[in-house]
Structure 1
Amino acid sequence: MIEINEVTKKFSSKKESITALNHVSFSVPEGQVVGLLGENGAGKTTLLRAISTLYTPTSGSIYVDGFSTTDNPNEVKKKLGVLFGGETGLYDRLTARENLKYFARLYGMSKHETKVQIEDLAVKFGMKDYLDRKVGSFSKGMRQKVAIARTLIHDPDVILLDEPTTGLDITSSNVFRQFILQLKKQGKTLLFSSHIMEEVQTLCDSVVMIHKGQLVYEGNLETLYHNEDSKDLNFIFMSKLARGETA
C-alpha cells in the first residue's frame, strides 16, 4: 500500500522557487493497479521519485507498506521495484544477464533465486536470444525489456513504473500488459504513469489525475465514467483541465 499525505515538493534556486507538487494526498490500496495521469510537467515523475525516496518532500509524508520514505528509506527500497521513463539504469559493457545478476546481488538474492528469476523473466519478455549480449548494442525496445526485468528481479511488493511501454513494439507492449495483469493477480501494488489512455483503461482499477502539481481526481474508473457520463478517458481528462477542477 502507498499512502501520500499532503505532500508538497518545492525546488528552489537563487532566482525562483517552483512548486512541483502542491498538497497532494491519495492512497494506492494493496493489490491494486492505479494509473497516474497528467501532461508533461504536471508533477508525475516528481511524485514517483518522492515515493522511491529519491526526493524528500518539502512537507507532508509518504508511506510504503507502513514505512516512511524519510524515516525508513532502506526498508522502503526493499519493498519497491522502480522504472523511470528514459532511465534504464543498465550498464552498457555488461550483458543483459550480467546486469540482472548485478541487481539481484544488490537485493541479496541467492544464486539459485537469481538464475530462476532471470530465466523466467527472459521467457516472459522474449529476451532469451540476446540475454548474453552486451546491452550497449541493444535497440531502445530491447533495453526497455531488460530494464523492466531489472525492476522486477527481486519480486517487489510495490512497483512504480513511469511510461513503462515507451520504446516497446506492439507485441512486446501487449506481453507487458498481460504481465501487469498477472502481477495484479499475485497481489502486487502498482502505480504507473502513462499517456496511453487505452492502456490505463485496460489495466487500472482506478486513476489519479494531476495538473500543475495539484490533484485533479482520485478514484475508480467506473465512478469517473458515471460522473462524467462518458467512457472516453482522454476527453474526461482534458475536460477536467479545461474546467480548472481540483480534488
Structure 2
Amino acid sequence: MHPGQVEQLVVALRGAARTLLDRRTIRDLQQTLSEIVSAAVETVPGAVAGGISVTEDGIVDSRNPTSRGISELDRLQSELHEGPCVTALESPAGDGVVIADDLAGADAERWPRFAPAAVAAGYRSVLSTQLVTNGSSRAALNLYATDPGVFDLEARVTAGLFAAQAAMLLYGSEQVVHLGRAVDSRDVIGQAKGVLMERFSVDETEAFRMLVESSQGTNLKLVDVARWLVGEVTRRGSARLESGQET
C-alpha cells in the first residue's frame, strides 16, 4: 500500500468514526453504514461496488448497496443459497474473509449457479468479510470488482478495517433498538403499576408484586401482562366515551 493509500484510509476511517459518534437515530446509523461502504469501495484497490448482507434465520437481506445491481446479486445469493457473501456469512475462513478471485475461472466451480450471473452483471471478483455473529443474525461487508485477481493481501487487510467499523456500527444500532424496547417496557410497566395502585389502593411495591404473580400464574412475560392491563383500561375508557356520546 503506497503512502497515498494509507493516508486515504486513515482519513476515511477517522471520518467514519467521527460521524458514528454524532449519530443519534436508526436512520442516521444506516446513513453512516452507507458511508462506510462507499469509503471502503473508494479505498480498497480494485473495488468498484459494495454493500452489506445480513442474514436472519437463513434469509439474506441486502443493506446499504452502492447500486441496485449489487442488491440484486445479494438477493440472488440468498435465493440460490450460494455465493461468496453466503459463504462469508455461514462458513468463512478463520479471519472471516472469503475471496472469489475469478468468477469466470476456477471460482465458477465453487459457486456454479451464482458465478455466471455475477459475470453477466460485470463482476469478476468478490471480497466478503464477516462482520458479526449473533445467534441467528449474521452480517458481511461485500466488495465487488470488475477485474479478476485484484483483491490481494493489502485489500484483505484494508477491507477488514472497514469491516471493523461497520461491525461496531451494527452493534450500536442493535443496542439502540434494545434500549428503545427497554424504555418502552419500563413505561408500560409503570403505567400498569399506576392502574393497580389506583384500583386496589396498594403501594408501588405491592402493585409490582401483583404484576409478577400474574406473570408467573399465566406464563406470560411481565411486560405482556402490563401491556394487556393498560390496553384493557384504555379499551374500557373508550367504550364508556362512545356509550356516553350515543346517549
Q: Flag whether TM exceeds 0.5 (same fold).
A: no
- Relative contact order higher in (CA < 8 Å, ≥ 6 apart): 1
More helix by share: 2
More strand by share: 1
TM-score, normalization: structure 1? 0.24
TM-score, normalization: structure 2? 0.24
